[in-house]
A and B are shown apart, each in its own frame.
Chain A
Amino acid sequence: MTVVAGYVPNPLGEAVLDAAIEQARFRGTNVVVVNTTRADRLVDPRYAQGEPLELMKRRLDESGVQYAVRHFTSTDTAAEDLLQVAQEVTADLVVIGVRHRTPVGKLLLGSTAQSVLLQAQCPVLAVKHG
């Protein structure tokens, strides 16, 4: 019984983290934070490293909930990684961030959120920023 959070180091990711902590408290479970990179480019701003990573951990420490961080390099897409972790820990909730995308943007960039929503085996909480 776990809450799995798909984290990226930006305000949307922070909102996801907050929601996941809240849900974990509410359900009395722990949180597994997932942040991965495909390492297919020189710079990946969606991969937390250094200071943002420390900040995220501190926040979880302060929240008091039990947590684990899955932070790794993978050859799969972010959605696949998240779903795989959710299955592994038999999550009862997956928390993701969603934002507005134009149809063309969605076509080109794909949608991590959509894949997770459609393929997750458990309820999904979609968080918006602001």
Chain B
Amino acid sequence: MSAQGQVGRAVPVGELVFAAGIAGLGVFALARAGSIVEPVTAGVLGPRVLPYIVGTALVILGLATLIRVLRGHFGEAEKGEDIDPHAHTHWPTVVILVALLALHAALIVPLGWPVAAAVLFVGAAWTFGAKPRHRAVLIGVPLALVLQAAFAGGLGLSLPPGPLLEGVPIFSG
């Protein structure tokens, strides 16, 4: 359709890699589809049929996008109100946010959900540029406790309260 090619833009390596990745996922889907066990009782449409269809579609669509990008039809990055379309992608932010989410996942069980959530919130707020720094802590810690009290204490979700809050009734589901 009308993904517009922009003059003078460098070769979009990332876009090519992503499109190739889609085709690659299709190849993977096709390769593994053969090893899905088809029970004799599977009937007319076994568990392999849809994987074959989807795998083929991924390969074709990935390659089609790849070809279009090579011909200069670049993707239009999604726009939004908080986004500066002319800014360069700031990769450190992405890496730090990803690391924070991974850290959050690792902290939930040993330290409890409120601690993990406070770490995630404060870290993310700092990464997004919160200032002064202490204010993010003053908001993040109570927020984590309120969420724990509301969703675990109030609504009964089993969010682990962690060793610090263990046994405090309003924080456990």
Contacts and interface: CB of A to CB of B under 8 A. Distances in A.
Tell whether A and B belong to one assembly.
yes
Interface of A: 38, 40, 42, 75-77, 107-108, 110
14 contacts: A38-B131, A40-B128, A40-B129, A40-B130, A42-B81, A75-B131, A76-B131, A77-B131, A77-B132, A107-B138, A108-B135, A108-B138, A108-B139, A110-B135
Given A77-B131, A107-B138, A108-B139, 11 more contacts: A38-B129, A40-B128, A40-B130, A42-B81, A42-B82, A75-B129, A75-B131, A76-B131, A108-B138, A110-B132, A110-B135
Nearest to A79: B132
What 8 A-B pairs are tightest by C-beta distance, nearest first?
A: A77-B131, A110-B132, A40-B129, A77-B132, A110-B135, A108-B138, A107-B138, A42-B81
Interface residues of B, number: 10
Contacts of A75: 129, 131
A107 B82 CA distance: 28
Contacts, number: 18
Contacts of A76: 131
Contacts of B139: 108
Contacts of A40: 128-130
Contacts of B138: 107-108
B135 to A, nearest CB: 6
Interface string B140-151: 000000000000
A83 B129 CA distance: 20
A96 to B, nearest CB: 17
A77 B132 CA distance: 7
Contacts of B129: 38, 40, 75
B21 to A, nearest CB: 34
A40 B135 CA distance: 14
Interface in B68-114: 81-82
Nearest to B139: A108
A47 to B, nearest CB: 16
Contacts of B82: 42
A87 to B, nearest CB: 19
Nearest to B129: A40
Interface in B33-72: none
A40 B126 CA distance: 12
A56 B101 CA distance: 46
Contacts of A38: 129, 131
Contacts of A107: 138
